[in-house]
Amino acid sequence: MDTLFFIGVFLAFFLQFLLLSKKHKTLSDKILAVWMFFIGFHLFSYCIYYLGYWDKYPHLVGIHHWVPLLHGPLLYLYTVFSLRTDQHLRQKDYLHFTPSVFVSLYMFRFYFFYSTDRKIMINNGEVDDFSLFMTLSLIAFLLSGIIYPILSYRLLGKHRRLIDENFSYDENINLNWLKYCIWGIGGIFLTATIISLLREVIGVEFGFNADLIFYTQITLFIFFLGYFGIRHKGIFADNIARSQIVEPGTQGEYKKSGLNQDVAASSHQVLLKIMKEQKPFLQPKLTLGALAKLLDISVNHLSQIINQYEGVNFYDFVNKYRVEEFMLKVTDTKNKNFSILAIALDCGFNSKSSFNQVFKKITDKTPSQYMTEIKA
């Protein structure tokens, strides 16, 4: 078991290095790198406890006690800055780390002023100097592990809307994987809560070290988080300027935008003409900013025009043209030797999965069902 833990520790620190050396890294990448460091440190400190080094070196006792309170805030901030156009930490963002700072300050006297004998006695439960504090910090840890995943999950919907408003693709910039990550960390904290309640409140005596379940989950979580975190690019990758990112607007905001209705109607007609004649949707990574340059209007006005005149977001607007282009090409005898996927990629789609998803959404049929119908 200790071998598995040390592999997890090594991987956490290695993934931290990869994230920090990543090209075009965003603030969310840096936050994830910091999080990987603290996950690795948390797991390492448990490893040396599990191997009995706390008994040999009592000054190591409790060195990670403040670290678990960092996991929830770092998950939340990683999610926040994966969708926030402002890529700078604000003063209020640091407040999320207050509980962890408080715990570390409270234990300052334990770390630096308690004798080794006293630390051993506290660790063995022979002295209750910190018993109430340990109980309160455990409750804070469990609450943090429940509240922050819930808050993070609620943010995912906003991120999806941000992508749909600005991009015609979502490969590598969506946070679908983070949804499973949140479920995973929520499951880890749920396991910790159940074990703590059974052991500390009900008094259940486990026939094994129940903490191993929790830390094994953390080790597996490192593999998952690191793999997808490295692959995730962020919406500001590929040199996309933050000024070209539009927040989803409301009807009230559109009324105050200052866009003249005659100008809007004229721009809408120009937009339809460009989509028909120049076919910019054939570019797999077409963005709202790139299309706005073709029309020579601002990204905010273009977003408003698409929403008001077409009744859809930018993602659905562009992909509707791609689906229509696919329907034309698939019936053309010149393309009879090409596969469905080859034609789909030629129409501007990035992958088979995105093509299938978009085609089903727009036509209410799968590509295979559609092909069966036109061949019948």
Is the pLDDT higher at 373 or at 362?
362
Q: 3-state SS string over the chain? A: CHHHHHHHHHHHHHHHHHHHCCCCCCHHHHHHHHHHHHHHHHHHHHHHHHCCHHHHCHHHCCCCCCCHHHHHHHHHHHHHHHHCCCCCCCHHHHHHHHHHHHHHHHCHHHHHHCCHHHHHHHHCCCCCCCHHHHHHHHHHHHHHHHHHHHHHHHHHHHHHHHHHHHECCCCCCCCHHHHHHHHHHHHHHHHHHHHHHHHHHCCCCCCCCCHHHHHHHHHHHHHHHHHHHHHCCCCCCCCCCHHHCCCCCCHHHHHCCCCCHHHHHHHHHHHHHHHHHCCHHHCCCCEHHHHHHHHCCCHHHHHHHHHHHHCCCHHHHHHHHHHHHHHHHHCCHHHCCCCHHHHHHHCCCCCHHHHHHHHHHHHCCCHHHHHHHHHC
Ranges of each domain in the chain: 2-231, 246-311, 319-376
CATH number of 2-231: 1.20.1070
- Which pLDDT band, with edges at 50, 70 and 90, does 233 fall under? low
Is the pLDDT higher at 207 or at 73?
73
As a whole number, mean pLDDT of residues 107-111 equals 87
Is the pLDDT higher at 359 or at 6?
359
Is the pLDDT higher at 169 or at 87?
169
Predicted confidence at residue 254, as pLDDT, reads 60
Estimate to the nearest angstrom the gap between the alpha carbon of 273 and the chain centroid.
37
pLDDT digits (tens, 9 = 90+) for 117-162: 888 887 777 777 777 888 888 888 888 888 998 998 888 888 888 8
Predicted confidence at residue 266, as pLDDT, reads 92
Is the pLDDT higher at 126 or at 53?
53
Predicted confidence at residue 267, as pLDDT, reads 92
Q: Is the pLDDT of residue 76 over 60?
A: yes
Highest mean pLDDT (candidates 183-187, 240-244, 337-341): 337-341
Predicted confidence at residue 314, as pLDDT, reads 94
Predicted confidence at residue 235, as pLDDT, reads 60
* CA distance to 228, 281, 296, 352, per residue, from 284 (Å): 22, 7, 21, 13
Predicted confidence at residue 320, as pLDDT, reads 96
As a whole number, mean pLDDT of residues 242-249 equals 66
pLDDT digits (tens, 9 = 90+) for 207-227: 777 778 878 888 888 887 777
pLDDT digits (tens, 9 = 90+) for 296-342: 998 889 999 999 899 999 999 999 999 999 999 998 888 888 899 99
As a whole number, mean pLDDT of residues 73-92 equals 84
- Which pLDDT band, with edges at 50, 70 and 90, does 263 fall under? confident
Q: Is the pLDDT of residue 231 over 80?
A: no
As a whole number, mean pLDDT of residues 150-176 equals 84
Predicted confidence at residue 236, as pLDDT, reads 56
CATH 1.10.10 for domain 319-376: yes
Predicted confidence at residue 241, as pLDDT, reads 56
Is the pLDDT higher at 268 or at 240?
268
Predicted confidence at residue 7, as pLDDT, reads 84
As a whole number, mean pLDDT of residues 271-298 equals 94
Do the first three CATH levels of 2-231 and 319-376 match, i.e. the same topology?
Answer: no
pTM over 0.85: no
